[in-house]
Amino acid sequence: MLKRIITFVLGLAIAVGTATAATTVAQAAQTKYAPSVSTPTEGAPASTKVVQKDIMATVSPTVGDLLGGSSGTSDSCTWASGTTAASSNSSNDSSASASASSSDDSSASASASSSASATNSTASAGAAKSTSSATKSATAGAATTATRTFSFTGGTACSAAHGISKPLSAALNEPLDYQARTKIFAHRGFTDKHELQNTFQAFDAAIAAGNPQVELDIRTSKDGVFYISHDATMRAVAGVNKKISELTSTQIDQITQKNGEKMHRLSELFDRYGSNLIYLIEFKEKNVDIDAFYRLLEQYPTIIDHVEVHSFYAEPLAKLDRLLPNMFKQLLVSSREEINADAGLYFVDSFGVNQKVASKAVIKQIHGAGKEIWVWTVDSPTRIAKFLSEGVDGVITDTSKAVGIAKVA
């Protein structure tokens, strides 16, 4: 009976129509950074995708069916986070051990984990995902806090969906290009020479400095278009005290930033730079539409191995892992307690750690858990050199001086 149910679920083909995105309003003031390529549809439904499964290929359910949308539920599947008690009372930096497991329904848990298909030898301490188990034992110092777990439950139907190796095309199932990577991410681009953050000007500065690797932030407009912005409002960069989430893309496209550039869509960034940059994209919203993010990436298959994501929220990373298991995912943390709680999360490849917390013991703990550690936001040349010498995988910084420091570190 179970076999028939699974076969039925996997055999469903969902025909999805195409929606039309909001029309871009031409901006009166032309600048050197105006996009030269037409903006692709960002909010349109995904086309039916071919599933890559361990044994067979078939047509997948919609992305929404697997993720459950922003609410966390669908007709057959529910995702949730929880906690388990730590297994150690030790407060010693190096000796305590914590275990975090994903409690998926029955046999479905094995396919919950990420399985990176290609790991480059230059990536340190297990940058890629490790195999097919959703449970990972992590060496975690001072493990007196509870560890977090993420699970997708809902019975047989959910298990069938969970057994699918993510609804993605072969072109999107690409691991990170570690060989193209440097040890420096330009924080919102390089801004140490008065460039405006999160603009083409700042990203061009990173390229000019010999470090085509940028960190940036995205937020969502009222009509579901991703814009590059750190703050919820545009007051700091454009003098407009309006939230991006309260305005449509048509309205936002008319706003000029203080350096003369328009507010840029994420798609415009991809159009301008393509695979000439490595992108570290921060989800600023806990309820970010991962389905829409995936659909946008579908339109840029050649840059997938140049895209990393991170967030202070684990939930969107967990959701994205079900669609893009090979995409590099980093969890941002500001305390040792967060590291202890989340060291075993199977979908986390790296921790982005506040420099105030990045001790030698923390570096050892995170590497011991098979993950990378990147430190933010480090602008002091002395501290950049110190962290690199102590073995962090890289730093996120505002200063272009870091590029030269990293070359001799």
The model's pLDDT over 27-70, given as tens digits with 9 standing for 90+, comes to 433 345 554 443 444 543 333 222 222 212 222 333 333 333 33
Q: b/e string for 228-258 if b means 16 or more Cβ within 10 A?
A: bbbeebbebbbebeebbeebebebbbebbbe
Distance of CA 236 to the CA centre of its chain: 25
The pLDDT of residue 24 is 38
**Homologous superfamily in CATH for domain 1-409:** Phosphatidylinositol (PI) phosphodiesterase (3.20.20.190)
The model's pLDDT over 264-315, given as tens digits with 9 standing for 90+, comes to 999 999 999 999 999 999 999 999 999 999 999 999 999 999 999 999 999 9
Quick one: residue 154, left, alpha or beta (phi over 0 = left, psi -120 to 50 = alpha)? Answer: left
- Exposure on the CB side of residue 346, measured as CA atoms within 13 A: 28
In terms of DSSP H, where are the helices of 325-368? 336-342, 360-368
Average pLDDT over the chain, rounded to whole? 73
pLDDT of 8 over the 80 cut: no
Distance CA 335, CA 395 (A): 17
The model's pLDDT over 181-228, given as tens digits with 9 standing for 90+, comes to 999 999 999 999 999 999 999 999 999 999 999 999 999 999 999 999
Q: Which two tokens stand for residue 262?
A: 């328009």
3-class DSSP state for residue 353?
Answer: strand
Distance CA 322, CA 165 (A): 8
| pTM of the predicted model as reported, rounded to 2 decimal places | 0.69
Strands 50-52 and 57-59, bridge-based pairing: antiparallel
For 159, list phi and psi in degrees, rounded to 5: -60, -40
The pLDDT of residue 151 is 64
The answer to whether 342 and 363 have CB atoms below 8 angstroms apart is no
Question: Which amino acid type is present at position 250?
Answer: T
pLDDT band with cut points at 50, 70 and 90 for residue 133: very low
Residue-range domain boundaries for the chain: 1-409
The answer to whether 135 and 102 have CB atoms below 8 angstroms apart is yes
Distance CA 238, CA 403 (A): 29
Counting residues of the chain whose pLDDT is more than 70, the rounded percentage is: 59
Q: Which two tokens stand for residue 271?
A: 């159009």
Longest Cα separation, the chain: 66
